[in-house]
Amino acid sequence: MNLRLLQINPIVGDVVGNLALIKNGWTEAPSNTDLVISPELAVCGYPPLDLLNEDSFIYSCMRAVEIFAKENRHAPPLIIGCPWILNNARYNAAIFIEDGAIGHVFTKRALPNYDVFDEKRYFVEGNQNNVLTLNGHRLLITICEDLWVCSPKQFIGKSANSETSLSAVINLSASPYAKNQQAEREKAIANFAKEAKSVIAYCNQTGANTELIFDGKSGLYGENGPLSHTPGFVSCSLDINTAALDCNDQVKNSGEEEVLQALTIGVRDYFQKLGFTRAILGLSGGLDSALVAYIACRAIGAENVLGVLLPSEFSSDHSVDDALTLAQRLGMPTKTLPIQACFTQTRESLQESQGRLQPVTEENLQARLRGLLLMALANDEGRVLLNTSNKSEAAVGYTTIYGDMCGGLSVLGDVWKSEAYKLAQHINREKEVIPYNILSKPPSAELRPNQSDVDELPDYSVLDPFLEEIVEWSRPIKLSTSTTLSKEEKERVYELIERAEWKRFQTPPVLRISHKAFGSGRRIPIVKQRS
C-alpha cells in the first residue's frame, strides 16, 4: 500500500498553524495514496506539558480536528496525532479521518514516565483495539513508546494466521534526538517488526521545542533495519510503498556533524518560534564562546549575532585577538566594553564596608559585571543572550551564578568540554574557522593572573569520563569504572557535583543532545542529605 509520512515541525500550542502544516502535506499527496500519517500529538505540538491539564485546551484541539476533517473531505485518509477526551479520560490519541469525518480514535498504551517524559501525569493508558482495516489492509496503529515497550500480541492477540496478518504497523512519534539514539531506535523498531511479521511506517516530528530537539528520520523499517527514511532535522514528506525491499542509500553524517545540526536547529527554532531575530553573547577568546558564536551564526545568520568583548586587567592580548579573528571569519559584528573601570569602582565600594575582599569574591564580581553588561545590551537592542557554559563546568559548579550563567538559552549545557574540542576540530576540518590558538591554549576563566582551569579541576579529558558516569548513567562512586581519577579525586569531584545543584536549578533552558541533560530530565533535590 502507498503511504505518505508527514515529517513536520509543529509549534506547541499553535493548533491552527500545525493543522496548516498537516494540510499542506495531506492535500498534496499523490492520488494513489492509501493513507497519510502525521507525528504524535502533531495538532498541539510536542511536548505540550501542563497545557494538557486544561480540558478547554484539549477540547479546542478536538473541535479543530473535527472542522479540519469536514473542510478536507476529498483528501486521502489521514491519521493524525491529537490529545483526546473519551468518557472523561484524557488520551494521547491517533485520530483516523476519512471522507470528511472522524472514523476511529486509537489510543497510546505505553506512557513514558522517565527523563523528560511525564505522560502519566496527563494521560490514561489506552486499551482499545488498535487495528484499522483500510482498503483490505490490516494496519496496527501505535504511538511512539508503544514500539519500544509493547508487544504486538498486546494489540492483535496470539493468532498470526493469514486472516489476521498485518499489512503494516503505523507509528506516530515525537521521539527526541540524543546522541546514538538512532541505533537504539532502529533496534526497538526491528524487534517489533520481527514479532509483528510486518514492516513499520514510522513518522517522527522534526525541529525543536525549547530544550527538546527532534531529528525526524521517518520512514519504512523492517526487522533488518530501515528500508527507506528521510534525512534528519528537515521538514518534508515521504511517499513510500510498503512493498519496498531495498534500503535507499542514506547520507550518514559524522557524530560531530549530527550534534552541530541538532544544536543549530535548537537555536534556530528557539528564536523563530518565540519571534526573536537577534542574539548576543560574550566573546572571551575561548573555545566555548567560539563554538556558540559559530552555531548561532549558522542558525540565524552572522549579521544577527553580536559578539561582545569584555576584557579586564587579567585578559590576555591573545584572547582579545582570537575573539576578533573569530568574529571576522564568521562575519559577525562585535563591540568591546572593558570592565576594568566598573570592577575597580564596585570593588572599592564593597571594600568601604567589607574591607579586603576574598579572591573568589573578586573573581565572581568580574563575571557578574560581564553578565550585567551583556543583559543590559540584550535589553537595549532587543536581543537574546546566549549562555556559553559547557556541561563539564555546569556539573562541578565551575560557573558564576548571575554571571556567566546568564542567558535565555544554554547552547552547550549538554556538551562536555572534551566534546567541544571534537566539535571545533570538525568545524575546522576543511579550513580554519575557529583560530588554532583557541584550540591549543589551556582553558582559563582569566579572572586572576595566569589562571588555568587545571589549577582547580582535573584535565577535562580525565574529568569528563567520570562526570558522564555520574550524571548521565547515575552510577554511584563505588560502581564507577572510570580509571582516569583516583578514589580521592572522585570523591572531591562528586562533592562538587552535589554542591552545585542549586546553581543548575537556575540555569537557562539547556538544549538536550544526550540521554540525560541538566534541566527537566534530571530532577535532584537541592535540599537533601548528602551521601
The pLDDT of 86-101, averaged and rounded, is 97
Rounded to whole angstroms, how far apart are CA atoms 278 and 516?
29
Residue type present at position 5: L
Q: Does residue 194 surpass a pLDDT of 90? A: yes
pLDDT of 456: 84
Does the structure show a pLDDT above 70 at 8?
Answer: yes
**Looking at the predicted structure, is the pLDDT value of residue 159 above 50?**
no
Is position 125 annotated as part of the catalytic site? Answer: no
Element (H, E) at 363: helix 359-381
Q: What is the per-residue pLDDT across 223-241, written as a single tens digit (0 to 9) for each?
A: 998 998 888 899 999 999 9
Tens digits of residue pLDDT in 348-370: 999 998 899 999 999 999 999 99
> What are the φ/ψ torsions at residue 99 (nearest 5 degrees)?
55, 40
Q: What are phi and psi of 430, to 5 degrees?
A: -105, -35
Name the catalytic one among 82, 108, 203, 468: 108
List the catalytic residue out of 61, 144, 297, 406.
Answer: 144
The predicted model gives 482-488 an average pLDDT of 89
The mean pLDDT value for 183-192 works out to: 94
Integer Cα distance of 415 and 388 in angstroms: 10
Mean pLDDT of 248-262: 78
pLDDT at 509 over 80: yes
Omega within 30 of 0 (cis) for the link into 47? yes
Q: What is the mean pLDDT of residues 96-125?
A: 96
pLDDT tops 70 at residue 266: yes
Q: Is the pLDDT of residue 460 over 80?
A: yes
Q: Quick check: 250 pLDDT over 60?
A: no
How deeply is 496 buried, as exposed, middle or buried, from its count of CB atoms within 10 A (0-12, 13-18, 19+)?
A: middle
CB 170 within 8 A of CB 141: yes
C-beta of residue 17 within 8 angstroms of C-beta of residue 48: no
Average confidence (pLDDT) over 384-392: 97
Tally Cβ neighbours within 10 Å of residue 162: 5
d(CA 228, CA 215): 15
Domains of the chain (ranges, CATH numbers) = 2-243 (3.60.110.10), 258-456 (3.40.50.620)
Question: pLDDT at residue 251 above 60?
Answer: no
Confidence band of 529 (pLDDT split at 50, 70, 90): confident
Q: HSE (CB half, 13 Å, CA atoms) of 386?
A: 37
Q: Which pLDDT does position 129 carry in this prediction?
A: 84
For residue 519, pLDDT beyond 70: yes
Going 501 to 502 to 507 to 509, the CA torsion angle's sign is positive
| pLDDT over threshold 80, residue 64 | yes
Query: What confidence score (pLDDT) does residue 505 get?
Result: 94
Reference 429, options 260, 205, 236; nearest CA is 260
How far is residue 271's CA from residue 280's CA, in Å, rounded to a whole number? 12
Asked if 144 is an active-site residue, the reply is yes
Residue 161 binned pLDDT confidence (cut-offs 50, 70, 90): very low
Give residue-wise pLDDT tens across range 444-458. Answer: 766 777 777 777 889
Give percent of the chain above pLDDT 90.
85
- Residue-level pLDDT at 318: 82
Q: Residue 34 carries which DSSP code?
A: S
Cα separations in angstroms, 101 against 67, 98, 105, 294: 9, 6, 12, 48
* Mean pLDDT for the chain overall: 93
CA angle 205, 207, 211 (to 5 degrees): 110
Q: Between the CA of residue 225 and those of 126, 191, 200, 232, 245, what are the distances in Å?
A: 28, 10, 10, 16, 11
Residues 500-526 have a mean pLDDT of 95
| Cα 379 off chain centre by | 26
Q: At 392, is the pLDDT very low, low, confident or very high (cuts 50, 70, 90)?
A: very high
Rounded CA separation 496/183 (Å) = 33
pLDDT value, residue 317 = 74
Give the predicted TM-score (pTM) of the model: 0.94
